[in-house]
């Protein structure tokens, strides 16, 4: 029996953790909106696709990367604010299933708009970082995965600082804790909701560029959000810290399962392992690692 290869284990684990950071980034877009308004924004995937498709299409038309990024970011802010005013605000206090169906319909509208503006062809996106291995202490790590994890980590840190130390961030936390108390002290919920939707647009842009550079900018890119749902189940739908931890667990777990158990189960574990893990958590801990437990009086 061969001995355990620790270096290989570390390579697989590190690759999984780096992928998990990108899962977390997508999941945080859901958390921001759900935490403040109780809406599970199924359109986040369509926003991710629209952002990546807009950026790469502008670059292909001769725009510089900074100009394309700034224009796409402005457009995503506009979409976020428009969605809040035209969809979320009129449906305030409606049942959760109504809000979910509204965002589901919105996702198809945004995808249709992307197709109308930019077409349906697949685009290659080059961010200037080659996906080649980098050796660190005998462990091979993808340069692109390191770059993507660093960008995602910086964005998460910036958002954490913004929501912790700025006036808008404090208002966001107040609304997330208790909307009625926030209204009682004079906070303007529509403005806070618009800010949060704009922030989700920024997250969609960054996540779209990172995932688009890895797998190509195509309409299947919107399906990346499906991997965010197990992350949310594990971490909790209303916890940013939970989204980070859940992403790391999912990323590492699916890579390790594929490598060490794939040959015994016919392969392909990576595509469904996260959902099995999420189902287990729903059975034993429905609120996730950090989610708030709902207590109802009867």
Question: For 144-155, how does the pLDDT look when each residue is reduced to its tens digit (9 = 90+)?
Answer: 888 988 888 888
The arithmetic mean of pLDDT across residues 160-186, rounded, is 71
pLDDT of residue 109: 92
37 vs 294, higher pLDDT: 37
Distances (CA, A) of 62 to 6, 67, 260: 47, 10, 46
pLDDT of residue 54: 94
pLDDT at 298 over 50: no
pLDDT band for position 63 (50/70/90)? very high
pLDDT of residue 185: 65
What distance in Å separates the CA atoms of residue 144 and residue 292, rounded to the nearest whole number?
A: 35
Residue partners of 158: CB distance under 8 A and separation at least 6:
none
Task: Name beta bridge partners: 135.
Answer: 140
pLDDT at 291 over 60: yes
pLDDT of residue 1: 42
The arithmetic mean of pLDDT across residues 137-147, rounded, is 83
pLDDT of residue 94: 80
pTM for this structure?
Answer: 0.86
Distances (CA, A) of 32 to 36, 40, 144: 7, 10, 27
Other beta carbons within 10 Å of 104:
14
pLDDT at 180 over 70: no
Residue partners of 51: CB distance under 8 A and separation at least 6:
72, 75, 76, 201, 204, 205, 208, 209
Name which of 60-64, 66-70, 105-109, 215-219 the model is least confident about: 215-219
pLDDT single digits (tens) 239-280: 888 888 999 999 999 999 888 888 787 777 888 889 999 999
pLDDT band for position 294 (50/70/90)? low
The arithmetic mean of pLDDT across residues 38-42, rounded, is 82
pLDDT of residue 110: 92
pLDDT band for position 178 (50/70/90)? low
Determine contact, residues 43/104, Cβ cutoff 8 Å.
Answer: yes
pLDDT single digits (tens) 3-36: 677 888 888 898 889 889 889 988 988 888 887 7
pLDDT band for position 223 (50/70/90)? confident
Determine contact, residues 163/169, Cβ cutoff 8 Å.
Answer: yes
């Amino acid at each position: 029996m061969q001995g355990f290869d620790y270096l290989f284990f570390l390579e697989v684990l590190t690759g999984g953790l780096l992928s998990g950071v990108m899962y977390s980034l997508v999941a945080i877009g859901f958390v921001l909106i759900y935490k403040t308004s109780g809406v599970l924004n199924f359109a986040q995937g369509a926003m991710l696709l629209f952002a990546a498709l807009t950026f790469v299409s502008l670059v292909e038309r001769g725009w510089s990367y900074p100009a394309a990024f700034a224009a796409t970011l402005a457009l995503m802010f506009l979409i976020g604010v428009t969605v809040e005013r035209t969809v979320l605000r009129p449906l305030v206090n409606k049942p959760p299933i109504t809000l979910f169906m509204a965002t589901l319909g919105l996702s198809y509208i945004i995808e249709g708009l992307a197709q109308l503006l930019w077409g349906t062809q697949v685009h290659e996106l080059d961010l200037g970082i080659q996906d080649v291995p980098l050796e660190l202490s005998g462990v091979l790590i993808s340069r692109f995965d390191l770059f993507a994890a660093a960008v995602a980590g910086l964005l998460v840190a910036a958002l954490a600082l913004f929501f912790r130390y700025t006036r808008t961030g404090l208002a966001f936390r107040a609304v997330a804790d208790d909307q009625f108390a926030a209204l009682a002290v004079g906070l303007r919920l529509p403005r806070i909701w618009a800010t949060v939707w704009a922030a989700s647009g920024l997250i969609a842009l960054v996540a779209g560029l990172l995932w688009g550079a890895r797998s190509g900018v195509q309409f299947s890119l919107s399906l990346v959000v499906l991997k965010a749902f197990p992350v949310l189940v594990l971490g909790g739908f209303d916890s940013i810290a939970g989204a980070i931890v859940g992403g790391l667990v999912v990323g590492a777990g699916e890579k390790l399962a594929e490598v060490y158990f794939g040959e015994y189960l016919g392969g392909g574990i990576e595509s469904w392992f996260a959902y099995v893990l999420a189902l287990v958590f729903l059975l034993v801990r429905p609120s996730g690692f950090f989610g708030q437990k709902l207590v109802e009086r009867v």
